[in-house]
Every structure is written in structure tokens, then in C-alpha cells.
Amino acid sequence: MFQLLYLGREYPAGEEFFHKRLKAAFQKNAHLTDPKEIQKRIDLGDYVCKEIEAMYHINKYRAMKKRYYEDHHDQDLVQRQANIQSMADKA
Amino acid sequence: MSAPNVRVLVAVKRVVDYAAKIRVNSAGTAVETAGVKFSINPFDENSTEAAVQLKEKLEKEKKKVEVIAVSCGPNKAQETLRVALAMGADRAIHVDVGEKEELQPLAVAKVLKKIVEDEKPDLVLLGKQAIDDDSSQTGPMLAGLLNWPQASFASKIELAEADKTITVTREIDGGLETIKAPLPAIVTSDLRLNTPRYTSLPNIMKAKKKPLKVIKLADLGLDTKARFEVLKVSEPAKRSGGKIVESVDELLDKLKNEAKVL
């Protein structure tokens, strides 16, 4: 749970937005008493943690890529150029 | 503790966060830093991750690796070092340059050279550039000062511990280049090198207990005077709004009469 709170500090829509949602999500399940059910929700929480981490990473990666890399650095393009070259060689 | 098989030095810089809104200060000489969020330079995050991955890999083979993080900057640079420690570095060195002074790449390279001479690492990892001044000079200059081999813009690093060599794949224009160099060497990391891990809260708590040595810049006795002066910093031109044209005729008319390109 603390990891979720910690992750919220960097949430693009704001920490407050995140905290309200997070609290609501916890309160929704406050009535649960079955340990199995509770474990399921905890697992879901862990999953959400991973999702948010992945989102932060992709955000940062995209921002960097947009700022510092022209198209010709693009791996896809390199691959495509190689494909065209090999086709040209065959022809 | 016995001496590690491999010692890796990672240089990290505290920069304005990549997501922060950048404003030029009122004097037009620098970027406004008051009230702006700072974080570790993204490329330095890549190099820290590379060092930690190397450590984890070699530790599986029962080899010892020591990862040392170093940063030159004001007191707050220690926060950045704690991030590196939380990611998995073993200890950190903070070169305190005071609040006012900003070191230029050559000065940082000189400081790092001194640290390298003291710590004797086998590998020095740096980010390919910092996202604030975008100089991309510190790594190459350090390699020059030490007369060590360097591999910049690394997208893949393989270290052969046994024969003390490193094989690095570099991203160059229109392709990839693979080079092999003897250790010790300098490597600067590119964006695609790896996926930096997100620090977990427990690791951050643990990082607070890891050793952090503070060295005063003045005690190193180096000439770190600024070698160039920033004359002006300006924002890129604002994009002027586009227009939606109703018909082809209108477009032609505008191209002829307003843009005068036809």
C-alpha cells in the first residue's frame, strides 16, 4: 500500500487526484473479511503498482525519444532500410 | 570484505525533471531552477541500471562487484545519489561544489579523474548527456584525461571479467557499431541500453543507511574555473496557429498571396 502512495507522488494528473482514487479503491473493499478475497485484492494492488511503474517508464522513454532522437535513429527504420537493401540486392 | 573482482563507478547528475515545465530566468542567462522539481538524469538512470545489472549477473557467478555512485553538485545532489543507492549501488561519493557554483563539463571530468585515481574502478559508466545542458562532453573528456578507451552511446554492454575486456554495441547514425576494448574503460549509455528499475520504498529506506562520503570541491585542489560563459538562453519560438482552409482554391490563393511560395 505504501508503495502505491509513494508512486502517486509522480502521477501526471497530480498527487491529490491519485490519492482520492486510491483511498476510494481501498474503502470499496473495506467490508471484505474472507482472507482469500483480501489476498486477491492485494495481488491486484501489486499488479496496479507494476502497471503504474511501466506507465512512468514509457512516459519518460517517449519524452526522451521525442526530444533526442531523429527518425533515422529509429530501429524500425534501420530494419526497413536493411530490408530494402536486401530486396535491391536480390533484384 | 575482500577486494571486489570488478569495481564500477557511475556518475550521476541532478537535473531538472524531464516532465517539469522549463522557463528561462528573468536575466535570460539560465533556466529558472527555483520551485522546479529535480530528479536524476534519465541517461544516468540507464547507466546506474547497467551497473546494477552487471553486479547482479556477476554475483550469480559468485564474483564480487562494487558499484560506486558519484555526483558533483550542491547539497541536494545527495538526493540523487540516494536514488542511485536505492537502485542498487553500494556506496556513494558526493563532491560538494556549494550552492552557487555550476561546474562545466571539463571541470566535472577533472573531478571524476581524481575520483577514478582514488577509487581505481575497472569501468566508469556515465549517461551520454545530461538533459539540462546537453553537452555530451563529460564522458569523452574524462576518457581523454585518463587516456582510457571509451565507448559512447552504448545500447548493449557485455563485460568479460576473465580477460578484462568489454564489448559494447553503440548506436550510431543509421546503424549499430560493436567495439571491444580492454578494461579499464569509459562507457556512456544511450536510452535503449535497458529499462531502469523503479525504486521501491523499502529500498529507499535501506539506501539511507548506505555509506555516502562527502568531499569538498576545494579540497581536491583542482582548477575548475569556468572556461566559457553562457551569453544567452532563450525559449524556442512559439508556434503560430495554423489555419483551416475551406477549399483548394482558397489554399492556392493563400499559398500565392500570403505565404508567397508559389
Domain ranges of chain B: 6-257
Give me the residue spans of the domains in chain A: 2-90
Predicted pLDDT at B167 = 93
pLDDT at B1: 52
* pLDDT for the residue numbered B52: 93
Q: Is B236 on the interface with A (CB under 8 A)?
A: no
Interface probe, candidates A59, A65, A68, A78, chain B, greatest B C-beta count within 10 A? A68
Contact A3 B195 (CB under 8 A): no
A5, A64, A83: best to mutate for the B interface, most B CBs within 10 A: A64
**Is residue A1 over pLDDT 70?**
no
> For position B197, what pLDDT does the model report?
87
Please name the residues between 18 and 77 in chain A that touch chain B, using a CB distance below 8 Å.
Answer: 53, 56-57, 59-61, 63-65, 67-69, 72-73, 75
The answer to whether the CB atoms of A61 and B191 lie below 8 A apart is: yes
> pLDDT digit string (tens) for B223-261?
888 888 888 888 887 777 777 888 888 888 888 887 777
pLDDT along chain B (262 residues), means of 10: 81 89 81 85 92 91 90 90 92 88 87 91 91 88 93 90 89 87 91 87 88 89 84 81 82 83 74
CB of B142 within 8 A of CB of B113? yes
pLDDT of residue A70: 66
A32 has pLDDT over 90: no
- DSSP E strand stretches across B130-261: 150-160, 165-172, 175-182, 185-189, 212-216
CB atoms A64 and B198 under 8 Å: no
As a whole number of angstroms, the distance between CA A83 and CA B140 comes to: 34
pLDDT value, residue A74:
58
Average per-residue pLDDT for chain A: 78
The ipTM, to two decimals, is: 0.71
CATH number of B6-257: 3.40.50.620
The span from the CA of A38 to the CA of B121, in Å, is: 49
Angle at alpha carbon of residue A54, lines to A27 and B191, rounded to 5°: 155
The residue type of B116 is V
pLDDT attached to residue B178: 93
To test the contact with chain A by mutation, choose from B41, B49, B153, B191 the residue with the greatest count of A C-beta atoms within 10 A, namely B191
